[in-house]
Amino acid sequence: MTEEPAQPVPPHQDALRTPTPVDGTPTVTPAAEEADGAVEAAAPADAPQAPPAQQDAPQAPAQQAPAQVAAPAQVAAPAQPGAPQVPAQQAPAAQQQPGVHPGQPVPHTPGTPPPGWPQQQRPMYWTQPPPPPRPGFFETRWKGPSTPAGKAAVLGTAAGAVGAAVAVPLDRPGVGWLISAAVAAAAVGLVARTAGAPVSSGDRVARVLWGLAALALLSVGTFRAAGWLFFCCLLAALGCASLAAAGGRSMRAMAVGAVSVPLAALRSIPWIGKGVGVLLAQRSAAKRAEAQADPVAAAQKDDGGVRGARIFLAVIVTIVLLLVFGGLLASADDAFAELLGRPLKYVADIFKDLDIPTIFVWTLLLVTGGLFTAGGIFLVTAPPDLHRMENPGKARIGGFEFALPLGALVLLFAGFVAVQFTVLFASGTNVLRTAGVSHAEYARSGFRQLIIVTVLTLIVIAASARWARRETPKDRLLLRILLGGVAALSLVIVASAIYRLSLYQDYRGWTRERIFVGAVEIGLGLIFVLILLAGIQLKAEWLPRAVAGTAVVMLLALAVVNPERFMAEQNVARYEKSGKIIDLFYLRALSADATPALADLPAEMRKCALSQIAKELKNDPDTWYSWNYSRKQARKVIADLGPGAIGTCQDAFRFDNERG
C-alpha cells in the first residue's frame, strides 16, 4: 500500500476556528470539529503520527481575533506507517507574502501590527493613530515674524532695557517713567516704519493716538504725587501701548490687543536671541570674506582695530576706577565729596545707597524694560490677525426672546427711577422718616449696589446688541426702543448714584475712594450717552474705541483736577464753614499734592496734618529721574511756613472724635 504524504488542512477549514481568547484556550466551532473529523476519517487508522516539532523550532502561535494578521498556521494530517515524517507546517513568515521577494522590506498596512511584532505581545486589535491637534491662535492668527530679529530690533530692545534701568523710579511717581516710555516708544516706532506690516491708514492714525494717550498717562507721574492715581494711569498706559502696537476695532479685538504686549514680550525672547546669533554670524562671515579678498588690508585693519579697542578699553577702565574709588571715598567723607564736586557727589550718592536690594531692582528694571520693548517691536513686526474678530456676531435671539427680558428690565428700572424721584430728587422726607433713616444713611445704603447695576446693564446691552436679530424693520424698531429705554433709565440710575455720593460726602467728607468712584460713575454716564447715539443706526464700529477713549479721558481729567488737593480743600472748607469734624489722621496720610490746601489749616491742626508729608520729603529727596512737580511745590510751601510750622499729632484726637 502506497503511503501518501500528509496533506495540510485547507485554509477555508482552518478559518472556521474562532480567535483565541485572552486566557489562551482555543475555542473550536462545531463546523471546525466536523471538518477535522472528515480529515481524520480519510487517513488510515494505522498510519503513524507525524513527529512533534523540534524543541528549538519556532512554535505556531494561536490564532488572533483581528482579520488583518499573518496567514494562519497549517494543521498536519496523520501519515501512514512507513511514510516519511513531515513536520507540521509553520505560519509563513512576514517576508513570504505574495509579491514580496526575499530580502525586500515587507510593506506595512496602516491599522495592522508592524512586521516583527512579537506574537506574544500582539493586541486583540490595532487602533488608528490619534488625529493631529487643531492649530491654535498662535498658529492661525499670530505666527510671529518669519525671520530672526534684525539689527534695529536688537538695538531698540537694548535701548529700552537701559532706559528703564537708568530712569525709572520704581518707588514713586517721577519724570523717569515718561523718559523711559519715550525711549521705548521711539525704538518701537523706528522699527514699525521699516517693518512693512499691512496697516490701513485709519488704523495707523488710531495707533498713533493710542501711543500718545499712553505717554500722556505716564506724564501724570511728572506732575502728580498720588501713588494710587499714578498706578491707575500706569495700567491704562500699558493697555493703550498694547493697542498702539496690536490695533483692533471691535470689543473682542481690543480685548486681545490690550493684553498682547505681555504675551509678545515672552514670545520675543527666542526671536531676539536668534537675531543676536544671526548678527554675530554675519559679522564673522564678513570678516572672513574681507580677509580672503585682501589679506594685507585686513591685517592692517585688524591691527588698527585692536589698537583702538585697547585705547578705548583703557579709557573705560580709567573712568570706572575713578568713579568706583572716588565714589567710595566721597561716600566715606562729605568734605572730600564737596571737594570733588557735584558730578562725583552724585556718583557717591549712588554708591552710598548701593546694596543687594538696589542691585536687584536695577536688574529687574533692566529685564522688564527690555522685555516690554522687545514685545512692542515683536508686535509691530508681525501683529496678530484680528480681522475675524471684527465681524459682527451672528443673530441668534429672536424678537420675542430678547423683547421679554429687556421689556421686564425696562419696567423694573422705571419703577426704581420713580422711587428715586420721590425720595432723592423730590421732597421725600416723609418716606425717609417712615423708613427711619437719614438722607446720608439712605445714600450710603445703596450706592455700591447701583454701581454694580450700572456695570451689569452695560453687559446686557452689549450682549443684546451683538446677538439680537434685526433682519426686519419691526425687529430693528423694537430693539431701538428697548435698548434706548434701558440706556435712558440707566442714566437716571447713574445720576441717582452720584447724588447719593454727594449727600454722603457732605455728611462724612471726601476720601480717595469716594472721589475715584464718583469719577467712575461720571464715566459710565458718558458711556450710556454714547450707547444712545449708537442706537440711532444700530451700527457703530466706533463705539468700542470711544468707550476705551472715555476711560482714558476720565483718568486724565481726574489728574488735572488733582484729586488729593481737591479732597483736602473741600474738607478744610467744610470744617471752616460748619465746624464739622475733620479727620486729621486721614489728611496727614495724603501725598504731597495736598500740601498747599493743608497749609491753610489753623496752626495747631496744620502741625499734625503736614507732619508725615514733611518727614517723607526730608528723608527721601528726589533725584533727577524721580523729579516731581507736586513734591517740589510741597517743599517750597513747607520752607515758606518755617521750621516751627511742623509738629506732631499728640492732640489731634480732639478734632476727630468721630472719624468718617
Q: Is the pLDDT score of 302 beyond 80?
A: no
Handedness of CA 251, 256, 259, 264 (dihedral sign): negative
Residue 434 lies in a domain: no
Is it the case that residue 96 has pLDDT exceeding 90?
A: no
Is the pLDDT reported for residue 220 higher than 90? Answer: yes
Q: Which of 18-22, 256-260, 399-403, 539-543 has the highest mean pLDDT?
A: 256-260
For the chain, the maximum distance between any two Cα atoms, rounded to a whole number of angstroms, is 141
Phi-psi region of 125 (alpha: psi -120 to 50; beta: other; left: phi over 0): beta
Domain that holds residue 620: 581-659
How far, CA to CA in Å, does 190 sit from each of 164, 185, 263, 271? 18, 9, 21, 18
**Residue at a domain's end among 389, 409, 427:** 389
Total number of domains constituting the chain:
2
How many angstroms separate the CA atoms of 424 and 306, rounded?
83
For residue 442, tell me if it sits in a domain.
no
Residue entry with cell 573705560: 316
Among 389, 404, 420, give the residue marking a domain's end: 389
Instruction: Report residue 642's pLDDT band, with 50, 70 and 90 as the boundaries.
Output: confident
Give the distance, in angstroms, between the CA of residue 84 and the centroid of all CA atoms in the same chain.
Answer: 83
Q: How many CA atoms lie within 13 A of 51 on its CB side?
A: 10
- The residue type of 468 is A
What is the full DSSP assignment across 582-598?
--HHHHTTS-GGGHHHH
Does residue 278 lie in a domain region? yes
Average pLDDT score over residue span 625-646: 89
| Beta-bridge partner residues of 468 | 397
pLDDT in tens, 276-300: 998 888 888 887 887 777 777 666 6
User: Which of the four pLDDT bands, split at 50, 70 and 90, describes residue 307?
Assistant: low
Greater pLDDT, 120 or 456: 456
Cα of 420 vs its chain's centroid, Å: 41
| Least confident piece of the model among 33-47, 294-308, 537-551, 602-616 | 33-47
Would you say how long the chain is, in residues?
Answer: 660
Q: Please report whether residue 645 resides in a domain.
A: yes
Q: In which band, very low, low, confident or very high, does the pLDDT at 119 lie, cut at 50, 70 and 90?
A: low
Q: Is pLDDT at 38 greater than 50 in this prediction?
A: no
The pLDDT score that the predictor gives to residue 219 is 95
Indicate whether 368 pLDDT > 90. Answer: yes
Any domain includes 482: no
Is 501 part of any domain?
A: no
Going from the C-alpha of 187 to that of each of 153, 225, 382, the distances in angstroms are 8, 28, 16
The amino acid sitting at 416 is: F
Of residues 228 and 475, more confidently modeled: 228
Write out the DSSP string of 260-297: HHHHHHHHHHHHHHHHHHHHHHHHHHHHHHHHHH-HHH
Q: 353: which residues sit within 8 A by CB, 6+ positions away?
A: none
Determine what percent of the chain is predicted with pLDDT higher than 70.
68
Classify residue 345: in a domain, yes or no: yes
Average pLDDT over residues 324-350: 66
How does residue 385 score in pLDDT terms, banded at 50, 70 and 90? confident
Residue 468's φ and ψ, nearest 5 degrees, are: -75, 145
Name the domain boundary from 374, 389, 404. Answer: 389
Residue 64 covered by a domain: no
Is the distance from CB of 378 to CB of 147 less than 8 angstroms? no
Contact in structure between 432 and 439 (CB atoms under 8 Å): yes
User: 397 forms bridges with which residues in the sheet?
Assistant: 468
Q: Residue 269: which residues within 8 A CB-CB, separation 6 or more? A: 371, 374
Q: Per-residue confidence at 506, pLDDT binned at 50, 70, 90? A: confident
Q: Would you state the pLDDT for residue 127? A: 58
Q: What does the block give as the cell for 394?
A: 451672528
Window from 48-52, 114-118, 301-305, 584-588 with minimum mean pLDDT: 48-52
Res 51 pLDDT > 50: no
Contact of 148 with 278, CB cutoff 8 Å: yes
Q: What is the pLDDT of residue 36?
A: 47
Q: Are residues 224 and 559 in contact, defined by beta-carbon separation less than 8 angstroms?
A: yes
Taking 70 as the threshold, does the pLDDT of residue 151 lie above it? yes
> What pLDDT, on the 0 to 100 scale, is given for residue 76?
44
Q: Supply 212's cell numbers.
A: 500718545
* Residues ≥6 apart with Cβ < 8 Å to 164: 180, 184, 365, 366, 368, 369, 370, 372
pLDDT beyond 60 at 32? no
The identity of residue 386, as a single letter, is L
Q: How far apart are alpha carbons 246 and 379 in whole angstroms?
A: 6
Give the model's confidence band at 175: pLDDT under 50 very low, under 70 low, under 90 confident, else very high.
very high
The pLDDT of residue 571 is 86
Q: What's the gap between Cα 48 and its chain centre?
A: 84
The whole-chain average pLDDT of the chain stands at 75
Is the pLDDT reported for residue 486 higher than 70? yes
pLDDT bucket at 425, cuts 50 / 70 / 90: low
More confident residue, 624 or 121: 624
